């Protein structure tokens, strides 16, 4: 019986961890099971405003509301990065803001949890919901 348990643990370990091991190249260029387009679509929202500074200040406020320490911001590049510590978790986020045409701003967020990318669209949906409240504007899905 003990032998069967040991073999069982070995087999499930190989199955579980086998999927996790990857080469350095795969880790640098990892995009998970999703396509680039899929990833962009749930990480991106469009807002009807041409005021980049206003959107960026709202992004910073939202990150602060969510207990992030804002580490970097660059108005020209349109990027904001921050880190949050919660229990044993470290969450890092980068949010970029860029104009589309003369009337809209495209906001894109991407995050990581400890050593893994955040790939749950619900997390990004929640982030944009929080941003909407801070910006008093409705987020439109996609670019």
Binding site for other proteins (CB under 8 A): 1, 4-5, 8-9, 12-13, 16-17, 20, 51, 53-54, 56-58, 60-62, 64-75, 80, 82-91, 113-114, 116, 118, 120, 123-124, 126-127, 129-130, 133
Minimum distance from CB of 81 to other proteins (Å)? 9
Q: With respect to other proteins, which residue has the nearer C-beta, 25 or 63?
A: 63
Minimum distance from CB of 120 to other proteins (Å)? 6
Q: With respect to other proteins, which residue has the nearer C-beta, 64 or 103?
A: 64
Q: With respect to other proteins, which residue has the nearer C-beta, 68 or 106?
A: 68
Q: With respect to other proteins, which residue has the nearer C-beta, 55 or 106?
A: 55
Q: How far apart are CA 140 and CA 104, in angstroms?
A: 10
CA distances from 106 to 33, 40, 139 (A): 24, 11, 9
Minimum distance from CB of 3 to other proteins (Å)? 11
């Amino acid at each position: 019986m003990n032998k069967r348990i040991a073999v069982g643990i070995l087999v499930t370990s190989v199955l579980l961890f086998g999927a996790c091991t990857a080469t350095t190249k795969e880790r640098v260029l990892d995009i998970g099971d999703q396509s680039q387009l899929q990833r962009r679509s749930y990480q991106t929202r469009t807002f009807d405003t041409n005021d980049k500074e206003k959107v960026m200040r709202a992004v910073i406020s939202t990150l602060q509301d969510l207990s992030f320490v804002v580490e970097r911001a660059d108005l020209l590049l349109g990027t904001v990065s921050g880190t949050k510590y919660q229990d044993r978790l470290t969450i890092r986020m980068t949010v970029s803001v860029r104009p589309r045409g003369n009337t809209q701003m495209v906001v894109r967020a991407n995050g990581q949890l400890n050593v893994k990318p955040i790939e749950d669209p619900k997390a990004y949906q929640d982030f944009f919901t929080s941003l909407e409240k801070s910006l008093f504007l409705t987020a439109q899905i996609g670019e």
